[in-house]
Amino acid sequence: MTCALAGCAGDGKGLDENGRPEGESTGTLQPTFQSIQANVFTPVCTACHAGAAAPLGLRLDEGASYALLVNAPSVEVPELRRVQPGNPNASYLIQKLEGTAARGGRMPLNQPALPPETIAVIRQWITDGAPNSTSAGGGGGGSKTRFELVTLTAVSPARDETVPAPVRDIVVVSDVQLDASLLQSNLIQLRASGGDGNFDSGNEVSVPVDATVRSDLPTVLSITPRAPLAADSYELRISGTEPVALADMQARPIDGDGDGVPGGDFVLRFTVEMTR
Ligand code: HEC
Ligand SMILES: [Ca+2]
């Protein structure tokens, strides 16, 4: 629908669904993440790749796209990353745009392919190491608070969202570099409600997870259940409370509960439902 409104010419240039004049900030496409987001992902791809129903869980809206592309495994070809920094040929995103992917259709699906010049700019960004040129992955967070508080933002699933099964991983970002060595302890807990949507009724089930850091600045945490999540409600809890708190490199604990003071647990609830 976004696509229809914006005209969706598929030429990857200057289409801005927010109606901003072309060239306000980015002008012609540049090999930066911000420019690619504004000129390609937002106007062309988010017609499909947005929200809980995004194909293969790939959200390309601002605030989610970086965390779900860079170093994130492809669902269709799990051996490949969607974006492999420094290596466009091995990046599944490029293969999907060029029509050389081993599975599925060429992107944007059922529309004219992006022009080669546009794909060349995206290739260049990947060759340059796929840096993030926007301030934070979470979309919110002004630059003021950036160095004062360590906050986490849920990217996928979003808070209180209902997403289709299977859910392969939970992605959370921080605008500050986190101390990844802390992830080895059990400060991350995922629980299933036991089918009743209630997390205090005594029948909750603890779900084992592995946590990895996909990229720094923003820090992208991928929390992967050992098996894809079945239909139920879930609660992810990341401790911001001593003695085992997630913290940044300066050992400042996260402001998990978002009350403006360091400390407190980060709690994300979401629901997984069976697809028909
Ligand atoms: C009309 C809907 C639609 C549009 C527009 C669209 N896609 Fe897709 N995309 C899909 C669907 C459906 C799939 C899964 C099936 C397939 O690959 O053909 C997919 C799969 C993908 C995958 C594979 C993800 C993985 O983990 O394996 C990538 C990468 C991708 N799209 C990127 C893009 C980009 C970049 C754009 C914009 C240039 C875009 N898509 C536009 C519908 C769309
Ligand atoms: Ca329960």
Main-chain phi, psi angles of 173, to 5 degrees: -120, 155
| Sign, CA torsion 160/164/169/175 | negative
pLDDT at 243: 85
Mean pLDDT per 10-residue section of the chain, whose length is 276 residues: 45 48 62 97 98 95 95 97 98 98 97 98 98 60 58 96 94 91 85 97 96 88 93 96 90 93 96 86
pLDDT at 12: 45
Distance CA 223, CA 226 (A): 10
Q: Which of 56, 70, 94 to mutate to test the pocket of ligand 1 (most atoms within 8 A of CB)?
A: 56
Count Cβ atoms within 10 A of the Cβ of residue 173 and give its class: 0-12 exposed, 13-18 middle, 19 or more buried: buried
* Residue 96, ligand 1, Cβ within 6 A: yes
Ligand 1 atom nearest to CA at 114: 38
With a CB cutoff of 8 Å and minimum separation 6, the contacts of 164 are 52, 53, 272, 273, 274, 275
Residue nearest to atom 8 of ligand 1 (CA): 107
Q: Structural domains in the chain?
A: 2-127 (no CATH), 143-273 (2.60.40.1220)
pLDDT at 178: 92
Report how far ligand 2's centroid is from the alpha carbon of 207 (Å).
14
* Residue 76, ligand 1, Cβ within 6 A: yes
Ligand 1 atom nearest to CA at 105: 18
Residue nearest to atom 12 of ligand 1 (CA): 55
With a CB cutoff of 8 Å and minimum separation 6, the contacts of 123 are 88, 94
Main-chain phi, psi angles of 90, to 5 degrees: -90, 0
pLDDT at 185: 63
pLDDT at 242: 85
pLDDT at 141: 42
pLDDT at 133: 81
Residue nearest to atom 19 of ligand 1 (CA): 55
pLDDT at 244: 87
pLDDT at 163: 96
Place of tokens 């669904």: 17
**Residue 178 in tokens:** 């986190």
pLDDT at 276: 61
| Residues, Cβ < 5 Å to ion ligand 2 | 193-194, 196, 198, 201, 203-204
* Residue 68, ligand 1, Cβ within 6 A: no
pLDDT at 236: 97
